[in-house]
Structure 1
Amino acid sequence: MAQLNVLVTGVGAIIGYGIVNSLRRTSRKLNIVGMDVYPDAIGQYFCDHFIQAKYADSIDYLDFLFDVIERHEIDLVFFGTEQELYRVSDARHKYPDYMSRLVLNSRTVTDLSKDKLKTHSFLRQHGVETIPTRLDGSFDELSKDLGLPFILKLRCSYASKGVFLIHDELDFNYWRAKATGEYIVQKLVGDDSHEYTAAIFGQDGDVICKPFVLRRRLSGEGATAKAEVVDIPELNKTIQHLVRLLRPVGPTNFQFRLHQGKYLLLEVNPRISSSTSIRAAFGYNEAEMCIEHYAENRQVELPTLRNGTAVRYISDWIGYEDSSNI
């Protein structure tokens, strides 16, 4: 088996080093090049090589990225941050020769996921039941319409950032003034114990297997802290309907809450999500699927899945002055 040169960006954060973790679970011969803007990124210790990256909004980011791809003869690029994924997706028409080496979803799914209002509008237009959403209004109007507390959410945000719980008019005025961009206002639905993160892998207009769903609780940073593998036919049916509408390509993540007996979509992520290392431990290895689909250009093999629970906890990486590590 020939060696595959893989680049993983954002290896200092949970998605990036989660992808590296998943890659290490495969039996393939891999040379993993990690990249992050921070020189002390923890994921570098799990990679074969490390490069300090430029920020995604830098003028020369794209030139930098494609130079790395050429110099290291990269076969496949995984994006561990949404900022990089969106920057590259927006420029995909300028770099057609590189597209086969990048783990990118369809342009439609990627563009929709950038803007929560566009996602909401698209789903409404196609008859999908959505969370009650408003663009504006006074506090009295919104609280009467949506109830208290309600959610103020930036239209363009990621990783649970830019989401604020509004309990009273003081909260509303404060967060509205602090908002760094346009926002939407939504009803608070469900509860923390009935939140679900679902992974699918799109290929040839369909999915390779039924959705892999975790019921989860979030950490304070917005990533999965505790999870349980679940199989819920009604939720699977909802996801299958979304797949038919969106026709995603590659790894795609849907997040839901159960509210009054219905599974309501919170957001769509056109990428591998922060739960990827947990999924890989149960047999659903998105990184390996990406190699099969993007790098090897073949049908993704059906995974053998296991059931169970997962808990994340804080661990240590120690670097001694004599360069040994534990």
Structure 2
Amino acid sequence: MLIFLLSSSGHKPHLNMNLLLFLFVFLGGNSGVGKDTAVSMAMRGARVIIACRDLDKAEKAVREIKFKSHSLNVFHMELDLANLRSVREFCKNFIQREKRLDILINNAAMPGVLDCTDDNFSMCFGVNHLGHFLLTNLLLPRLRECAPSRVVTLTCSSYKYQKLDFQDLNYNLLPFFTYCRSKLANIYFSQELARITEGKGVTSYAVHPGFVQSSWTCHYSVLFRMLMQVIMWMFFVSSEIGAQTVIYCAVSDEAAKHSGGYFVDCRPATLRPFARDAGVAKKLWEASERLVKLV
């Protein structure tokens, strides 16, 4: 099926859109930036596939997205980013089932929790970086076949509070710092992906959606959840607002000129100097290849 996405500039990019979108599956798959992005993409005519480990939440999200977007072209597939075998199985099934992949939005995330994935990586590093890293690499041939295509990876401005330690990439001691490192890894990943795919029709963007009201506090105590609900209500933006920069990088003609860029509020933003180090980005890519056994 030939489907067009309407860009924010009002032009129709000539892309046959099959949008693979990751909801915040670990933070409540039926809400958040992911669902609002999916609604917007479905309204633009995209075929939307959400990937989620909780099939009940995925089915509920699909129903809600269909209802809000007035589109029946929304589907889900099972995927657990905390399990690399699940990532490989998902990619195998996806490639067998789907002939196109035009936009991949890496939106799943874990907050800072002291827990481990099924492959014994810290949950933050394993899900937020390694899961997306393996998935994107396995789907990269299909993205290249469908060029021009895009990869949008969500990150957070909290990247600025930590640097990577290559002696301990799997850092899992202080939850907030663990989260910050995983978000910095997302930025390096997006930059190196842009370098690797330069001239091959695939562009890459890192997006900070802002501090968004969501259900990420479900992993913490009741008292902490109550406190954060008040803070989020007072200072955080809605998920609909948070989704706008993700949507912009997915469909805007202007964004296409800034592959490897970091976006905030629908415009390129300046990173701290250490987060623009191409040598570190390449080193992380090579280390990640070894960790997920791509080499």
Superposition TM-score tier, normalisation by shorter sequence: 0.3 to 0.5
Q: Which has the larger radius of gyration?
A: 1
TM-score by length of 1: 0.38
**Greater RCO (CA < 8 Å, at least 6 residues apart):** 2
More strand by share: 1
